[in-house]
Amino acid sequence: MGRDVSQGAFSREDRVRYRQKVRRCLDVFALMLDDFGFDADRPMTGLEIELNLIDSTAEPAMRNEKILADIADPLFQTELGQFNLELNAPPRLIEGVGFADYERDLCGSLARADERAARSDAKILLVGILPTLTERHLVADNLSTNERYRVLNDQIVGARGEDIELDIRGVERLRTHTDSIAPEAACTSLQFHLQVAPDSFADYWNASQAIAAAQVAIGANSPYLYGRQLWAETRIALFEQATDTRPDELKAQGVRPRVWFGERWITSIFDLFEENVRYFPPLLPICEDEDPVEVLHAGGVPQLGELRLHNGTVYRWNRPVYDIMDGRPHLRVENRVLPAGPTVVDMLANAAFYFGLTRALAEADRPIWSQLTFSSAEENFHAAARRGMEAVLHWPRLGDVPVTELVLDVLLPKAAVGLDRFGVAPAERDRLLGVIEQRCRTGRNGAAWQAETVWAAERHRGMDRDAALHHMVQRYAEHQRTNEPVHTWPVD
């Protein structure tokens, strides 16, 4: 939900009018899918990276408003917490040396932002959950000052009607309560966008769901929260719980959560938008002036503002997106399963793996989703978030298999085929997929490096957990700036 919102109190009439408008938008969207010209000639890709700000002691730096003003770059935006920023890379093709172009531009943007952040005694950290965050940091007073975050907080907490419980059991256990959505700000993600044609959207979304577990396992980078070692990718559990609008009674009744893996393979993008409208009450019932029916009949391109806003408050791990660029509508899969970091090259390796593997599976003669049950895909996803590189996943014809073996023997070759179909230069393909290969061979991703470094600080340096986490974050920040992949980082 990237739009600004100023209205905080919504009447019954607002909600009724919004619900009617959303359904009108959904009807128009169905008509557009039947006979409208969507832009899909040369599929563009996009990246969004959520960032943490830390001070010289590795504590979160609550200064995003000042730093954002100093950066003065429209590619950077505010995010939920005052210690967060978001970087939106300009969309591009990945054919040829597109990934190298991404890398050059991202490194340049981050370096410039880091230089501006230094004026406020801060620096940028790319990590799934900042390990030095504590409960005193994640409170409502530390939400960004943009009014939309306060409104969203009030609506989610109001819908639940009670404090939000966090209960995450991993290597250690965390159990606590919060009276705001501020803990969600700890979840800093890397999001991929892939433009697809309407008639192939379902194949790409289904493929994205099927491989989400493998993505999370090899890309995990969020093992610590509030000083405890939890899941390899704790961000998954935290995001699911921190935005849950359901009290226990509604959970028991089977009401769907707003952070949602889904419950079935789809046959059309319409399935997802229709589920969103059918299952989820509006959080932000704000109506636009546009009548989408009139716009469509006049030969224009409807904005479908209410449908898009509603879609932005349902947090699918693979989200459908309807958008308009240069007057032409298009559809995208927004892949939201991965954490930020550890380095730009690590993130682009994750991107190459995702884009290539998704295309190969989406265009396969026998779809993977015809062989893998949806429930198995979801179980795989949470197993991967818990165990990371040590996860065991279920895969057709292989049964239960270690994720590193699955990636090395099955998924990486398919990802290479998919990148070839995109026209990616062979040297770029091999360089980036080689990073994924070496993570699997060394057993080291961001989560593993963090845990190993904290363990070494506790055992060999005699540090307590808090000191070990601060030491690790300082070392992480130093290694991140080399842009060397995390599997090469020394543990010290």
Q: Is the pLDDT of residue 5 over 70?
A: no
- What distance in Å separates the CA atoms of residue 144 and residue 465, rounded to the nearest whole number? 29
- What distance in Å separates the CA atoms of residue 153 and residue 134, rounded to the nearest whole number? 19
- In three-state secondary structure terms, 148 is helix
Token representation of residue 388: 């990371």
Token representation of residue 98: 């597109």
Buried b (16+ CB within 10 A) or exposed e, 210-247: bbbbbbbbbbbbbbbbbbbbbbbbbbbbbbbbbbbbbe
- Could you tell me which residues are beta bridge partners of residue 49? 87, 190
- What distance in Å separates the CA atoms of residue 413 and residue 37, rounded to the nearest whole number? 34
* AA letter at 202: A
The domain ranges of the chain are 36-261+317-488
The model's pLDDT over 218-246, given as tens digits with 9 standing for 90+, comes to 999 999 999 999 999 999 999 999 999 89
Q: Is the pLDDT of residue 332 over 80?
A: yes
Q: What are phi and psi of 62, to 5 degrees?
A: -85, 65
Token representation of residue 77: 């935006």
Q: What percent of the chain has pLDDT over 90?
A: 88
Give the mean pLDDT of the chain. 95
pLDDT of amino acid 2: 45
The model's pLDDT over 123-159, given as tens digits with 9 standing for 90+, comes to 999 999 999 999 999 999 999 998 888 888 988 888 8
Mean pLDDT, to the nearest integer, of 404-428? 98
Count of Cβ atoms closer than 10 Å to residue 323 Cβ: 16
The model's pLDDT over 172-189, given as tens digits with 9 standing for 90+, comes to 999 999 999 999 999 999
The model's pLDDT over 266-315, given as tens digits with 9 standing for 90+, comes to 999 999 999 999 999 988 899 999 999 999 999 999 999 999 999 999 99
pLDDT of amino acid 120: 95
**Which among 211, 225, 56, 210 has a CA at the least distance from the CA of 128?**
225
CATH class of 36-261+317-488: alpha beta
The model's pLDDT over 440-479, given as tens digits with 9 standing for 90+, comes to 999 999 999 999 999 999 999 999 999 999 999 999 999 9
Find all residues with CB under 8 Å of 264, minimum gap 6, and list them.
271, 374
